Amino acid sequence: MQGKFDYLSELLKSVRKQLLDEVDALSDKQLNQKLSEDKWSVSQVIRHLIFIDEIVLPALKKAVQQEKSMRVVDKNIAFILDRKNKLRSPFPDPSTVFMSKDELLKKLNHVRTPLIEYLGQLTEETVFEDKSMVHPLFGPMNIKQILEFMALHEKRHIEQIKELKEICIRFSNRG
């Protein structure tokens, strides 16, 4: 990637670093602790983000390879950061099977790296605004906005992890 869309790779790297920093001090047990039936564990949140990276890259490659261009109007996606807006993932809940922090973080890095590498291979700037893919909740979105949404979505889940950590700390201090 070159030029005015370089910020997208940097944004995705920066947000991923925030996520890694947020979970750094957590133990395997804390990562996998499910605090209630209606809340995901931190491990489930991370698995959800892994899943998103796994499905976006092939869809992104397919969109870029399409012969026709389809320019779509940018959507207002900033609201995704407001955790008062409860959104239900259109995907199945992530597994609750115990996974060590090392395994989770290895998978997390393993799925993001090819995405960043692929973005680095895109040399035509027009691809980011002229090619689109279908988001399960928002419909057609251009590639630039899909990548911006991924960063916002991850930031939303970082806030969720902060909330879970706070509950976990309060819970462990009672015992």
pLDDT at 174: 63
pLDDT at 27: 92
CATH number of the CATH domain containing 77: 1.20.120.450
Q: Structure pTM?
A: 0.91
Q: Decide if 36 contacts 175 (C-beta within 8 A).
A: no
In terms of phi and psi (left: phi > 0; alpha: psi -120 to 50; beta: otherwise), the region of 156 is alpha
pLDDT per 10-residue tile (average), the chain, 175 residues: 79 96 93 89 96 95 85 87 81 92 95 94 88 89 95 96 84 63
Give the structural domain span for 21. 3-174
Using alpha carbons, list the distances in angstroms from residue 56 to 27, 75, 149, 150, 160. Answer: 29, 18, 11, 9, 22
pLDDT at 1: 42
Q: pLDDT tens-digit profile of 56-83? A: 999 999 999 987 777 888 998 988 888 8
| CA 87 – CA 81 distance, rounded (Å) | 11
Structural domains counted in the chain:
1
